[in-house]
Amino acid sequence: MKVLVTGATGFVGSELCVRLHKEDITFTRAVRSAPKSPWIGEIAVVGEVDGATQWEAALAGVEVVVHLAGRAHVMNRKEGGSLDEYRRTNLDGSVNLATQAARMGVRRFIFVSSVKVNGEGSETPYTSETPPAPIDPYGVSKWEAECALREIAQRTGLEVVVIRPPLIYGPGVKANFLRLISAVARGIPLPFGLVHNQRSLLFVGNLVDALVACATHPRAANKTYLLSDGDDVSTSRLVKELAYALNCPARLLPVPPQLIRLAGELSGKQQAVKRLLGSLIVDSRPIRRELGWQAPFSLQAGLQATALWYREQHDSNG
């Protein structure tokens, strides 16, 4: 089996390539520009990923495509971009790649979408049967791409597998999760002692393992799976688990959630506060039941690996 990995230099893509190499699975890294340092595996320079990207050379001999490249979700709305910008990469780029993949005889196309297709959170667990309710341009573009890919699958016979992960963490994580780790490590008191929400998380090692299962298992064809570590956590428990992994005290203040919401409104950070206080749970039982997949890393193991990486980065930076 030969695999093409798009977004191969990214947070998830780099981990997936390491895993494929360990398992002696032949793979090609699709990259925007030639790397400056040596890489394991074949390299295909494809430039920007959009509706005009030429994929024929990269797809030669490929049986499975794992499509990770895309315009990433940006928390800061001012930097978020318009729907057209997201569509250019996430929709047009995906459709173009899948169309060429089908023409080149690729058997399976794995599309890493987002739980934001389902919505921004609910007390009821999301499933693949939950009616899609994307709110922001990123989620809309991912949902539109899913629909277009299913149409291509029906028309061409290309097997399409859709994965909708929640928040992904692990060594190399950025954005809000990295800021939370930094705050806990620095001993900053956090006002989440009375927050008892539930949120699904996904360690990058578990996502990579599931991607390999979806690439190889025959029952994965044309399925949509939501993934998680299988251990949903409140924000207060997450802080405690991070503190334990970092070997430092958890400094949690018992602030009523309504006061945190008020502070969010006054500071213009309502969405960030909503994520910290609200629940977002996914049901990952279907992939476990249908593919026999089990998350190889527990939440604690994933946080330990992330904390170790953070400490190494912190120590190396003085």
Alpha carbons 93 and 71: distance in angstroms, whole number: 10
For the chain, first and last CA: distance in Å? 44
Nearest to 273 by CA among 158, 195, 188: 195
Instruction: Single out the catalytic residue among 138, 169, 225, 310.
Output: 138
Hey, CA dihedral for 127, 73, 298, 239, is it positive or negative?
negative
Q: What share of the chain is helix, strand, coil (3-state, %, to 5)?
A: 45, 15, 40
Alpha carbons 197 and 112: distance in angstroms, whole number: 26
Backbone φ, ψ for residue 210 (5° rounding): -70, -35
Nearest to 311 by CA among 158, 185, 200, 123: 185
Spatial contact of 49 and 70, defined as CB atoms under 8 Å apart:
yes
The H-assigned helical ranges of the chain are 11-22, 56-59, 83-86, 94-103, 137-156, 175-185, 204-216, 235-246, 257-267, 270-277, 285-291, 299-316
138 catalytic? Reply is yes
Which tokens go with 139? Answer: 């989620």
Enter the DSSP assignment of 92: I
The catalytic residue positions are 138
